[in-house]
Structures are given as structure tokens and as C-alpha cells.
Amino acid sequence: MNKSTYAGMMGCCVVICSLSLLACNMATVKPPEKDIVAVPEKFEVRVSDNLKTALAFILDNKGRLNDTVLLANDSLVNGLYEKENYQPLWCAQENWSALGDSLYTFIERSKEYGLFPSDYHFRALAGIRAKMATDSTARRDAALWSRADLMLTDAFFLTTRHLKLGHLEKDSMTLRNDSALNNDFYTQVFHLMRHTNNVTATFHDLEPKHAQYDSLKQGLKFFLDSIQTFRRYTYINYPNKDSAALHNALQRRLFEEDVLTSATELIDTAAWRQAIMGYQTAKGLKPTGKINENTVNSLNNTDWEKFKRIAINLDRYKMLPDTLPLTYIWVNLPSFYMQVMNMDTMVLESRVIVGQPKTRTPLLTSNVSNFIIYPQWTVPYSIIFKEMLPKIQKNVAYLNKENLMVVDKNDSIIDPYTIDWSKLSKKYFPYLLKQRQGDDNSLGVLKFNFANKYSVYLHDTNVRWMFSRSNRALSHGCVRVKEFLKLADFLVRDDTLKYRPDTLRAWIARQEKHIVSGFHRVPIYIRYFTCEGKSGKLRIYDDIYAEDKVLRERYFADKSIL
């Protein structure tokens, strides 16, 4: 290679590098903080120019414009402005448009929808609006207007998504089809909003069409009206392996409760115990002087945390289909109630007993296909090994006490006293345990079947006194129904020739076993809702399986009040 060729190549490299650097610098030019427009006629042109510059910078910086502006949907935002020729969408002639005002007001009141204003740039937008209301120079700042416009557009996209799908990730219980929520969907919603000039109505059309959802929103409004303002309190993570962190959080929280005089000073054991005991007594808890789950739950039960739980439950409705069937069975585990809905009317409500926290009733969707009068219970192996086998090995008479019989693989009854129970274990157990049908059967006198992979069902019980308890998380996983006979009557209501009003009761009185089928299958939804709206007010249930706690930590832990 001669010197002239080498020099030429190097020159080309320099030119290419220079052009690359120039292109990079052009793409990442940071927009000006201020751009005061002296001539009103040039206002929208300058806002448009600022929008282009800002979007180019944002796309190159992963959605971030500056320390206060981070767009969650930078690609969607850019796509919409590109289609609109980078014209401002929410302002005109140094003023907010009617649509921009309405969107801002919606964001300000978004808590009424179980949303968090802080998700939608509310603090920054409120600051800009306040500045423009008092500073005539700010009203002529095209850069400031462009930033406000971008944040409102980003807020529009995020609000649309949260009202339609919520915050929670899609899981096995999600029945809503969200595949249609592509870029065109968001654009259509925007154009509908602009065409109707009605932000509230457009957003309302995105929400679930369920009476229970509307009732919960009414309960939320009552809740918001009952509090003057949210106050931030220290949230206590419990249990916590970091004992020092737990102690510090507890001290801060008790200081906030005016139980302790300092959030940081060292406190001796006696004073600490006395403070906890005083709080427990004031809240109607057992005064142990020690931190336990009930005490922590009480400390965490602030208005702000209640609001998060309401938001979680509103989002759970967004995982259901747009409409539910005309007839269905609804089991809400935390409320310990079953409801039967028919043509938008609740025709039956019953107390239920659900699974203990260690043997949870699973969430599922299925269809009740038949029911059995005087069913026989085959004990699941999980119950055999965890509970029954140790007791049988101690005393074989346990089987007779629990009305249990032992059968082999051929369904032949085996004399339990001929078996060496000491040699049986989870690894080797060639039998089944079955409970004889009758009033002593754990399933009671009636069992409702629906296909599911968990081998659970609805049924009667031989311990009906448990329905009087307030906390009814007591079963091994199946759902015990107090009004089981009314449910059976409802299922066969359309076949009055075959099942007269007294037919089922006569069979039960005669202790006759029958498998009843042939009726229209009724969908059943077993779900987990810890908040409900009742008569315009809010009802909050215990988080029996700590599902709210898990979702709170995953999606809502860092949410701010504003």
C-alpha cells in the first residue's frame, strides 16, 4: 500500500467518524430548558419544534428527558406525534385546550378509579400549571408547553392501559383477551376522545362492565370522602430476617402513632414492652407486649395501605372477561360467601367454609356438571400422609372413629387390623381410605362436581356448626356450602317434571344415593377479593392467604401519595 492510498483511506475514516459523531450529536441534542416566544403567531410552530427535539432526545435516552420527566411509553408517544405532524395535542395559543384541562382534572381525581396520580406525572404537571397561572413569561415558554404536552400524552397512554388491564401481570386466572391492545387500539381511543371531547366517558368505556366493580368504586368514593388527606406512615415488613431493620421500622411506626417519644433514641426492654402493650390494648388486641402478626397488621392498616388494597381488588376485576355469563356461581374466598347470580340478580347467597392458609382453596374457573346425594369421600393422599397415617399408626381404632374403611386397588374392603401400619409410608401405601356415606361423612349428604386439576369441589359438611364462626378458613381446600340444598334446587329448577320440589329432600330423608346431572352446566368462579362495595360503603376482609401482601410488595410498594 503506497502512502497516497493509505492517506486516502485515513481521510475517509476521519470523514466517516466525523459524520457519525455529527449524527450522534444531532440525535442527542438536549432540548432547551426555556424557549420564550415573543410573537404569539409563532407559538404553536415553536412548540412543535420543541416536541420534535425533545422526542428525539427522549428516544435516545430510554424515555428520560430530564430529572423530572421520564416517559413510560416513549415509543407510543412518538408514534402519535408523528401521525399528528408533531402538533401539540393538549394546548393551543398559550393556553390549555378543553381536552387538556379535562385530562389534567381526570389525573388529579384518578384515585377515585383506584389509580395513583403520581403514575401520570401529576406533581410535575401541577407545578407547570401553577407556574403558568402566575408567571406571564412561563405562559410564552414553548419548551415548557412541549414538556407538559408530552407528559399529558404519556399519561393518556398509561391511564388507558391501567383502566383496561390494571397493573397486575396476566396469569392463569386472567380471562380477559388483551391481544387487541396494540398501537392502533391506543390511537383509536385517542381519536375517540378527541372526537367526543369527553375524557371521562372515553375512559369509562375502558373499565370492566361488572356490577361488583361498580359497587367497589362506590365504596372507594365513600372511603375517600371519609378521610381528609392521606398521611405516609412507615410500612413494616413482617416477618423480617433482619431483626435490626424490623426493630427500627417498628420504632419509627410507633413514634408516628405517638406511642413512643423518639423514632431513633435507644429504648430499654421494659419501656419497649410497655409501649407495645399500650398500643395493643388501645387497638383491642391481646396485650402481650410482644410484636406479632396481628399487631403488625394493625400498624400497617393505614388509610394509604387500605387504598392500595382497593386498587389491587379493582385490578382483579380487570382480569375477568368483559362480561360474565347470565348465570354463574361466584365464590369469594376472603368473604367466606358464595353467591349465585342469574340475569343480573343474586338469587342465592350462602356462607361457605374455605381452605386453611396451609391448605388453600385454589382459584379456578370451571362448570358445575353434576351433584351426588350421599357421596363417598376418598381421602386424598396428602391428607392421609400429613394427618391420618401417624394417628392410625398410634391407634388403628382411629379409622372406626372417623368412619373410614380401607380398600385395595380392586376396591375390596380390607380389615385394618390385618395390616402392619408401621411399614406403610408415603413411599409405600397400596391402599385407599374411604369414608362411608351418611351424615358422618366429611362431605355431608351432597357434593357438587366441576372439572379441575386440584380435586376440589363444593359440598355439605358434617360439622355445620363451623358456619357460625367469623373466620371460616378451616377446610383442607374444598368449599363447604351452608345452603347446599338451595344450590341443588337451583341447578334443577328447570326440570320440574323429573325433580319436583320435594324430590331431593325425599332422597336425602331415605338416605338414597343419586347422581344428578342433565341440567345446564353452570359456570363457577372461585376468586380472591378482599374488598367489596356494600350499600355504597366499603367492606374490607382479612387477607387470609396474604395474596394482597404479595401483590402490594410486587406492584405498589413504592407508590407515592401524590
Question: Among 207, 224, 253, where does a domain finish?
Answer: 207
Same domain, 84 and 197: yes
Q: Does 224 map to a domain? A: no
Same domain, 319 and 450: yes
Choosing from 167, 459, 476, 531, which is the catalytic residue? 459
In this structure, are residues 67 and 30 in contact, taking their beta carbons and an 8 Å threshold?
Answer: no
Choosing from 478, 514, 520, 531, which is the catalytic residue? 478
Burial of 524 (0-12, 13-18, 19+ CB in 10 A): buried
Q: Which residues of 235-246 are buried (b: 16+ CB within 10 A; e: fewer)?
A: bbebeeeeeeeb
Q: How far is residue 365 from each of residues 170, 487, 547, measured CA to CA in Å?
A: 15, 18, 18
Residue 562 pLDDT: 73
The pLDDT confidence band at residue 174, using thresholds 50, 70 and 90, is confident
Please, which residues bridge with residue 433 across strands?
Answer: 406
Q: Does 368 map to a domain? A: yes
Cell (9 digits) for 7? 492517506
Q: Is 538 helix (H, G, I), strand (E, B) or coil?
A: strand
Going 552 to 555 to 560 to 562, the CA torsion angle's sign is: negative
Q: Does 553 map to a domain? A: yes
Report helix angle 269-282 to 293-300, nearest 10: 70
Backbone phi, then psi, for 186, in 5-degree steps? -65, -40
Q: Which residues of 279-311 are buried (b: 16+ CB within 10 A; e: fewer)?
A: bbeeeebeeebebeeebbbbbbebebbbbbbbb
Residue 1 pLDDT: 52
* CB count in 10 Å sphere of residue 60: 14
CA distance 230 to 239: 26
What are the pLDDT digits (tens) for 362-412?
999 999 999 999 998 899 898 999 999 999 999 999 999 988 999 998 889
The residue type at 90: W
- Catalytic-residue membership of 13: no
Quickly list H helices, 61-141: 74-83, 98-108, 122-134, 136-139
Same domain, 473 and 519: yes
Q: Which H or E run includes 314? A: helix 303-317
Q: Does 554 map to a domain? A: yes
Residue 172 pLDDT: 81
What are the pLDDT digits (tens) for 327-356?
999 999 999 999 999 998 999 999 999 999
Question: Among 151, 178, 207, where does a domain finish?
Answer: 207
Q: How far is residue 125 from each of residues 146, 333, 352, 440, measured CA to CA in Å?
A: 12, 41, 48, 66
Same domain, 396 and 490: no
Q: Does 285 map to a domain? A: no
Question: Among 176, 207, 238, where does a domain finish?
Answer: 207
- Catalytic-residue membership of 24: no
Domain count, the chain: 4
Residue 143 pLDDT: 96
In this structure, are residues 124 and 151 in contact, taking their beta carbons and an 8 Å threshold?
Answer: yes
What are the pLDDT digits (tens) for 63-82?
999 998 999 999 999 999 99
Judge if the upstream peptide bond of residue 380 is cis by omega within 30 degrees of 0.
no
CA-derived radius of gyration, the chain? 32
Domain around 408: 379-436
According to DSSP, the β-strands at 327-332 and 337-342 are antiparallel
As a three-state string, the secondary structure of 222-237 is HHHHHCCCCCCCCCCC
CA distance 202 to 302: 33
What are the pLDDT digits (tens) for 500-552?
878 999 999 999 999 999 999 999 999 999 999 999 999 999 999 999 999 99
Q: Is 12 helix (H, G, I), strand (E, B) or coil?
A: helix
Residue 8 pLDDT: 52
Q: What is the CATH number of the domain that holds 498?
A: 2.40.440.10
CA distance 529 to 485: 26
Same domain, 39 and 157: yes
Q: How far is residue 484 from each of residues 107, 302, 500, 514, measured CA to CA in Å?
A: 46, 38, 17, 15
Quickly list H helices, 395-453: 397-401
Same domain, 109 and 193: yes
This prediction has a pTM of: 0.89
Same domain, 133 and 19: no
> pLDDT exceeding 70 applies to what percent of the chain?
94
SS3 content of the chain, % helix, strand, coil (to 5): 45, 15, 40
pLDDT > 70? residue 4: no
Same domain, 468 and 560: yes
Same domain, 474 and 522: yes
Same domain, 480 and 333: yes
Same domain, 525 and 426: no
Same domain, 18 and 116: no
In this structure, are residues 399 and 392 in contact, taking their beta carbons and an 8 Å threshold?
Answer: yes
Can you tell me which residue has the cell 320440589? 501
Q: Does 280 map to a domain? A: no
Please, which residues bridge with residue 540 across strands?
Answer: 531
Q: Does 412 map to a domain? A: yes
Cell (9 digits) for 248? 427500627
* Residue from 389, 446, 451, 397 nearest 423 by CA: 389
What are the pLDDT digits (tens) for 73-115?
999 999 999 999 999 999 988 899 999 999 999 999 999 999 9
Q: Which H or E run includes 373? A: strand 364-373
What are the pLDDT digits (tens) for 405-444?
999 988 899 999 999 999 999 999 999 999 888 777 889 9
Residue 180 pLDDT: 64
pLDDT > 50? residue 49: yes
Q: Does 270 map to a domain? A: no
Backbone phi, then psi, for 540, in 5-degree steps? -115, 130
